Amino acid sequence: MDPKRAVGRFAADLVEDGQAVGLGTGSTVFFALERLAERIDQENLRVTCVPTSKDTEQKARRQSIPLASLQAEPEPAICIDGADEVGPGKALIKGGGGALTREKIVAASSQELIVIVSENKMVDMLGKSFLLPVECLPFAEPLVQARLQELGLTPFLRTKESGEVSVTDNGMYIFDCRCNGIEDPEQLERQINMIPGVVENGLFVGLAGRILIGKADGSVEVRD
């Protein structure tokens, strides 16, 4: 079985009847969503999901999964989400799909963030290969770019294939930053978020609970 499919379905089987569940964004989460829909149909599982993006919301609606806002379900029991990199101390880089701000809000609101990844996402240091996303107000683009450079990062404004600037669900821009390795994720997360005009960045430090790792043979490793 594909590692993403295996770990996504494994995570969905952890959901208990009556729970509110935060649903992240991305291809691995889609397999969890698919399995949740099966359980709702086969087991009459009662669950309410809080989506972190318009994309996840649309996919959940197509599967007839009950949805709620964070206002209606302010403290989900768990949040199931993927990651672009998982480093030491369960620090994460997220936001390749552009939903980092809502993902961080739902993760922080939830009792536990369950991270689902394939084993190639496990790294010894964050930011050596994957670019760090930073979401900012369009008005603040020049300032944010300059301040990111002052922090030693190399920011690239995210664009579509057409060359147009990519805009998030929140109406914001994203800088993808080359870091050449992040020695202190907690400090960098704080430094970036202090830049005027920055909405959020893709470093998730101190939020992850269990890490579920999908293996090539279809098995899943659980790291508490």
Residues with active-site annotation? 103
> At 48, which helix (H) or strand (E)?
strand 48-51
Do 78 and 110 form a contact (C-beta atoms < 8 A)?
yes
Order of strands, edge to edge, in the sheet holding 132-136? 154-157, 173-178, 132-136, 198-201
CA nearest 202: which of 218, 223, 179?
A: 179
* Euclidean distance between CA atoms 53 and 96, whole angstroms: 13
- Strand 154-157 and strand 85-86: the pairing is unpaired
Q: Give dist(CA 174, CA 156) in Å, integer.
A: 8
List, in sequence order, every residue forming a beta bridge with 178; answer none if it has no partner: 154
For the chain, give me the number of helices (H) and strands (E)?
Answer: 6, 13
Orientation angle between helical segments 54-62 and 27-43, nearest 10 degrees = 30
Radius of gyration of the chain (CA): 17
